[in-house]
């Protein structure tokens, strides 16, 4: 389904071409002055400069070619050569009706050539509770997965556990030292106990203790490194103990992800790439990419003497050294973080053969991914340009630093969600919302409000920027917040229910009032927002549209009485506009991973 901006862009391009001007200059944008026009084209200025012509004269000639277009009520030239376009009420009504009739996509369009896409996000670690640092990756990755599917791609969301590195060796040794895993430490092939020797609390307690001890105790660290290598080499008892670590951890992870409405198609970990590890190492050796370096084995990913451009946080671009070699095998014989990432690319190529793999991981991991991607391209494991690290900023406290608890520790994600739900209950009661709901429905609504507050606060910011966590502001039912959007959705649902009770139903859309025009134009803009968010991999564009749509509906609702409109046709038209706004708002919210309640 084509939006008005695209359609008018094609018409302006044809008019430019008829004047001997490059049609690519005929870009149509939303007007900077909505009081004067709906859309504008500034291409005449650039075209006239290239042709050494008067831009206003050129714009006037182009405008004259557009005056017969029935979709336009006026075409005017302003200033030095801006072409202002105002859409007719009939064309707006037709477009709004098309959006209303498009139940599947609410006026947006799909991609021309669907792709197979893997999105790697969340990245939880076995034995470590999820914390606020996992929030952005989970929320952004889930939204991108939904966005790419919405446009027609086949998408696999992969949680990609951290379950195969040094932390596993630390845990094996720590659990063994406490006498909790004696049957698993034997050299034999088993059988081994089916019940886990550890609980989640055990893992959460033991891991930080072991990590701290390894920094001070060389002998302990060496034992952990040896255990890591033996686990990766296939020692049966270690593998059985490791499987319990993974199972116990996954139960907690599924709880947190489920609370956030985050799902995965693949629950793979670094360990799932182990079956291709030997093949990969042999291939890297055969091709000469894997070389000795101070007792370790690495892949040199930079060209001799290469430098690269690097952008600093303040926007300054500097010359920086090329990325260091990718460490593949440590001096102790263990596979490293980069090794499993490289093997995972090969494994995904064999299992799925994706056209694109997106990694939604903290921006601070940029150099790591540059190393891995370069190695993958050198080894032929991925076509050039098919790997993309979508870095993101941090969620900060009032001090501008990554968010911490009041005691200075890292806040667990479970505790954050609980805190948000508590605040949602409080705000609902303050606003006298949900007072007549049964207790179970009130609790479900509070949870939806909490998730909407957290997700919209995150996704309304550009992925690449950091933001300050302010739960009081996020949870407001006024302003640019998730709860505000839910309130507007619930308001429309209530309106439609009242209409149905009165026997009124949506009918043909007619545009007559300014607020109706504004709402119809906003409905039309969804297609562009979805396309831009998809192309740039920036969910905040959809979040911005959702907020503008909620505002446009609120103004329409205030200016244009619906159920008490002067005649049945107007009631039916305005109900149809309201229903179209609801459908599109819920489509946008769904792309953000937000679900709206039926009532408040």
Residue-wise pLDDT tens digits, 158-208: 999 888 888 999 999 999 999 989 999 988 898 999 999 999 889 989 999
Within 326-466, residue ranges assigned H as helices are 337-351, 366-379, 413-430, 439-459
Q: Is the peptide bond before 191 cis (omega within 30 degrees of 0)?
A: yes
State the pLDDT at residue 357. 98
State the pLDDT at residue 330. 85
Residues 434-450 have pLDDT tens digits of: 999 999 999 999 999 99
The CA-based angle 324-327-333, given to 5 degrees, is 160
Mean pLDDT over 13-24 rounds to 91
CB 102 within 8 A of CB 1: yes
Distance CA 494, CA 598 (A): 8
pTM for this prediction: 0.92
Distances (CA, A) of 127 to 174, 184, 213: 12, 18, 16
Neighbours of 379 (CB within 10 A): 18
CB burial readout 409-443, b (16+ within 10 A) else e: eebbbeebbeebbebbbebbeeeebbeebeeeebe
Which domains occur in the chain, in start order? Answer: 4-87 (3.30.1360.70), 166-260 (no CATH), 268-392 (3.40.50.620), 418-591 (1.10.730.10)
Instruction: Look at residue 110 and tell me whether its pLDDT is greater than 70.
Output: yes
> Of 301-305, 430-434, 496-500, 563-567, which range is least confident?
301-305
Mean pLDDT over 274-292 rounds to 95
Distance CA 433, CA 359 (A): 40
Show the tokens assigned to 457. 């606060």
Of the CA atoms within 13 Å of residue 192, those in its CB half-sphere come to: 22
Residue 311: pLDDT band by 50, 70, 90 thresholds?
A: low
Distance CA 306, CA 303 (A): 5
Residue 283: pLDDT band by 50, 70, 90 thresholds?
A: very high
HEC string of 516-545?
HHHHHHHHHCHHHHHHHHHHHCCCHHHHHH
Distance CA 146, CA 131 (A): 23
Mean pLDDT over 88-93 rounds to 97
Residues 248-260 have pLDDT tens digits of: 998 888 888 999 9
State the pLDDT at residue 178. 93
Mean pLDDT, all residues of the chain: 93
Residues 52-63 have pLDDT tens digits of: 889 999 999 999
CB 554 within 8 A of CB 505: no
Please provide residue 530's backbone torsions phi and psi, each rounded to the nearest 5 degrees. Answer: -65, -45
**How many residues are present in the chain?**
600
């Amino acid at each position: 389904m084509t939006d008005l901006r695209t359609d008018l862009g094609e018409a302006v391009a044809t008019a430019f071409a008829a004047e001997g001007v490059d049609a690519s200059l005929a870009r149509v944008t939303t007007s900077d002055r909505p009081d004067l026009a709906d859309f504008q084209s500034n291409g005449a200025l650039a075209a006239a400069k290239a042709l050494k012509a008067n831009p206003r004269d050129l714009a006037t000639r182009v405008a004259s070619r557009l005056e017969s277009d029935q979709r336009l009520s006026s075409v005017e030239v302003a200033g030095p050569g801006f072409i202002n376009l105002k859409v007719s009420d009939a064309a707006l009504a037709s477009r709004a009706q098309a959006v209303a009739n498009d139940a599947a996509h609410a006026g947006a369009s799909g991609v021309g050539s669907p792709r197979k896409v893997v999105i790697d996000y969340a990245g939880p670690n076995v034995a470590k509770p999820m914390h606020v640092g996992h929030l952005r990756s989970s929320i952004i990755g889930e939204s991108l997965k939904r966005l790419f599917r919405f446009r027609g791609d086949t998408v696999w969301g992969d949680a990609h556990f951290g379950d195969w590195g040094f932390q596993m060796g630390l845990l094996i040794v720590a659990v063994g030292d406490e006498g909790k895993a004696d049957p698993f430490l034997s050299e034999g092939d088993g059988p081994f106990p089916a019940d886990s020797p550890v609980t989640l609390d055990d893992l959460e307690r033991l891991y930080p203790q072991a990590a701290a001890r390894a920094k001070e105790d060389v002998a302990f660290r060496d034992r952990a490194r040896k255990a890591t290598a033996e686990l990766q080499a296939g020692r049966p008892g270690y593998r059985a103990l490791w499987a319990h670590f993974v199972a116990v951890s996954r139960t907690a992870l599924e709880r947190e992800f489920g609370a956030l409405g985050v799902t995965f198609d693949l629950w793979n970990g670094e360990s799932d790439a182990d079956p291709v590890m030997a093949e990969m190492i042999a291939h890297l050796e055969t091709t000469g990419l894997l070389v000795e370096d101070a007792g370790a084995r690495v892949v040199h990913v930079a060209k001799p003497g290469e430098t690269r451009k690097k952008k600093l946080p303040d926007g300054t671009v500097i010359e920086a050294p090329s990325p260091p070699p990718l460490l593949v095998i440590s001096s102790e014989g263990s596979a490293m973080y980069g090794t499993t990432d490289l093997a995972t690319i090969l494994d995904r190529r064999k299992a799925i053969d994706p056209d694109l793999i997106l990694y939604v991981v903290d921006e601070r991991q940029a150099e790591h991914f540059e190393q891995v991607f370069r190695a993958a391209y050198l080894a032929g494991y991925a076509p050039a340009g098919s790997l993309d690290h979508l870095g993101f900023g941090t969620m900060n406290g009032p001090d501008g630093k990554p968010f911490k608890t009041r005691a200075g520790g890292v806040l667990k994600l479970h505790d954050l969600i609980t805190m948000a739900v508590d605040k949602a209950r409080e705000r609902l009661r303050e606003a006298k919302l949900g007072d007549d709901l049964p207790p179970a429905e009130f609790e479900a609504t509070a949870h939806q409000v909490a998730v909407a507050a957290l997700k919209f606060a995150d996704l309304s910011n550009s992925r690449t920027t950091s933001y300050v966590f302010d739960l009081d502001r996020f949870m407001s039912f006024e302003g640019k917040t998730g709860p505000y959007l839910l309130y507007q959705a619930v308001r429309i649902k209530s309106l439609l229910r009242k209409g149905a009770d009165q026997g009124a139903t949506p009918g043909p859309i007619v545009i007559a009032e300014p607020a109706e025009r504004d709402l119809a134009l906003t409905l039309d803009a969804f297609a562009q927002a979805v396309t831009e968010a998809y192309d740039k991999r920036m969910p905040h564009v959809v979040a911005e549209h959702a907020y503008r749509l909620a505002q446009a509906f609120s103004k329409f609702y205030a200016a244009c009485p619906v159920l008490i409109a002067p005649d049945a046709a107007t009631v039916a038209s305005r109900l149809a506009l309201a229903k179209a706004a609801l459908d599109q708002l819920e489509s946008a919210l769904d792309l953000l991973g937000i679900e709206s309640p039926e009532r408040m």
